[in-house]
Amino acid sequence: MSSLRPILGAAALAVMFVSQPAGAACPAPATWMAPGGATIEAPTLIAAMSRKQAVLLGEQHDNEDHHRWQLQVIAALHAQRPDMVLGFEMFPRRVQPVLDRWVAGELSQQQLLEQTGWSEVWSFPPALYMPMFEFARLNRIPMLALNIDRKLSRAVSTRGWDAVPPADREGVGRPAPPSDAYRDYLLDIYRMHASHGKPSRGKPSAGDTGFRYFVESQQVWDRAMAEAIAVAARRGALLVGVMGGGHVRHGYGVPHQLRDLGIREIGTLLPLGPEESCERLAPGLADAVFAVPPAPAANAPEPPRLGVRLEETDTGVRIAEVSAGSLAERSGMRADDRLVEVGGRAVSRARAVMDAVRQQPAGTWLPVRVARGEQLLDLVVRFPVRP
């Protein structure tokens, strides 16, 4: 398990709220609410957030409405604090010059994606994020790359922080120790990974090396983003960070590291989807949550999904997680399988896999070749007939 990647917002959905009290109040659609508290008027909340040093906007990476909500909040905050910087988890620090050229209006959308290596560094459709990028360009709002390269996070999750030479740490300092509550939160996620996405009663011991490295890799991710945010916040600008909800919830991740860096005025905001139980709204979850209304019925059917989380490694595309009951599980795929071919074509990028799946017509079969250990296995994904 030492090769596990740090969590993403979508990867932790099954365990994102644990042991929460029942009977929590449920906000009406399109309203703000303090978890465990009362409804908050939008102008009051935005005014309070505009006085912070940093405001963190959580998300589920593949949810369109979450990104629309983020843009809405960014626009409202910008109206009160035009001295704004937008930080994005989606970009590693090394592409900062590309973001600067984009904001200056020197690049097209395609050039932005190509020069940042979007398909390699982030495995979600760029259309989800492009409205925020365009807002930054139109208003000349500096964009800040918050993340580290996956090579560093993989090294920490495999060998631990102390085994990574200082020259390979991208300038990231040693993270502040995690709280016991954060360790418990990550433990649930680790157990889900360890059981290939299925609940497990097994619990790593306190001395489990794989779990310790997993916590360290998550903390390095949190610390790197916090350090970048802190630099901008100390210059007096309002730093608005766009990142997975797992880095924001309960203040365990990035907010914890920001406080260790001396940044105290931190706002944390999260979206609450219509599919999520209001019993999960515990005090301290965030400063406020926005109740996202149910989406209207789609005019066109959603593209098919395998139900996997993919990771690009030095040896190709690895299946990091398989969702229970998904097409992938029914087809025989397992976590740690490496995708070799999809539809008869060799694949080395997660984007190529996702595109092949989304283009597959309903009711058809898609051959997939995977490497499992020393074996090459030929599997078939059977896409259901659309009702």
Q: State CA 140 to chain mean position distance.
A: 25
Kindly report the average pLDDT of the chain as a whole number. 88
Distance (Å, whole) CA 50 – CA 39: 19
Query: Please, which residues bridge with residue 267 across strands?
Result: 55
3-state SS record for 147-214: ECCHHHHHHHHHHCHHHCCHHHCCCCCCCCCCCHHHHHHHHHHHHHHHCCCCCCCCCCCCCCHHHHHH
Residue 278 pLDDT > 70: yes
Distance (Å, whole) CA 194 – CA 69: 33
Contacts of 106 (CB under 8 A, 6+ apart): none
CA-wise closest residue to 215 among 195, 198, 199, 191:
191
Domains, the chain, in order of start with CATH, read 10-291 (3.40.50.11550), 308-382 (2.30.42.10)
Query: Please, which residues bridge with residue 57 across strands?
Result: 242, 269
Residue 72 pLDDT > 80: yes
CB 244 within 8 A of CB 10: yes
CA-wise closest residue to 304 among 344, 354, 358:
358
pLDDT band at 193 (very low <50, low <70, confident <90, very high): low
CB 248 within 8 A of CB 254: yes
Q: What is the pLDDT at residue 11?
A: 36
Element (H, E) at 84: strand 84-92
Average pLDDT over residues 51-76: 96
Q: What is the pLDDT at residue 298?
A: 63
Report pLDDT digits (tens) over 335-377: 999 999 999 999 988 888 988 898 888 889 999 999 999 999 9
If you average pLDDT over each of 37-41, 238-242, 379-383, which comes out highest?
238-242
CA-wise closest residue to 92 among 181, 23, 171, 159:
171
Average pLDDT over residues 284-291: 96
Q: What is the pLDDT at residue 271?
A: 96
Distance (Å, whole) CA 193 – CA 133: 33
Q: Helix or strand or coil: residue 39?
A: strand
pLDDT band at 16 (very low <50, low <70, confident <90, very high): very low
Contacts of 369 (CB under 8 A, 6+ apart): 339, 340, 341, 342, 376, 377, 378, 379
Distance (Å, whole) CA 68 – CA 132: 9
Q: What is the pLDDT at residue 268?
A: 98
Distance (Å, whole) CA 379 – CA 328: 10
For every residue of 259-278, DSSP letters joined together read: HHTT---EEEEEEE-TTS-G
* 247 C-beta neighbours (distance < 10 Å), count: 29
Residue 15 pLDDT > 50: no
In this structure, the strands spanning 84-92 and 238-242 are parallel
Of 131 and 308, the structure prediction assigns the larger pLDDT to 131
Distance (Å, whole) CA 43 – CA 324: 41
Q: What is the pLDDT at residue 300?
A: 60
Residue 387 pLDDT > 70: no
Distance (Å, whole) CA 271 – CA 58: 7
In this structure, the strands spanning 84-92 and 143-147 are parallel
Report pLDDT digits (tens) over 212-265: 999 999 999 999 999 999 999 999 999 999 999 999 999 999 999 999 999 999
Residue 12 pLDDT > 50: no
Q: What is the pLDDT at residue 192?
A: 72
- For residues 306-333, one letter each, b for 16 or more C-beta atoms within 10 angstroms of the residue's C-beta and e for the rest, the string is bbbbbbbeeebbbbbbbbeebbbbebbb
CA dihedral over 274, 11, 211, 121, signed as positive or negative: negative
Q: Which two tokens stand for residue 181?
A: 């509550």
Q: What is the pLDDT at residue 312?
A: 83
Q: What is the pLDDT at residue 270?
A: 97
CB 337 within 8 A of CB 372: yes
Q: What is the pLDDT at residue 262?
A: 97
Q: What is the pLDDT at residue 202?
A: 54
Rounded to 5, what percent of the chain is helix, strand, coil? Answer: 40, 20, 40
pLDDT band at 190 (very low <50, low <70, confident <90, very high): confident
pLDDT band at 21 (very low <50, low <70, confident <90, very high): very low
CB 320 within 8 A of CB 5: yes
Average pLDDT over residues 297-321: 81
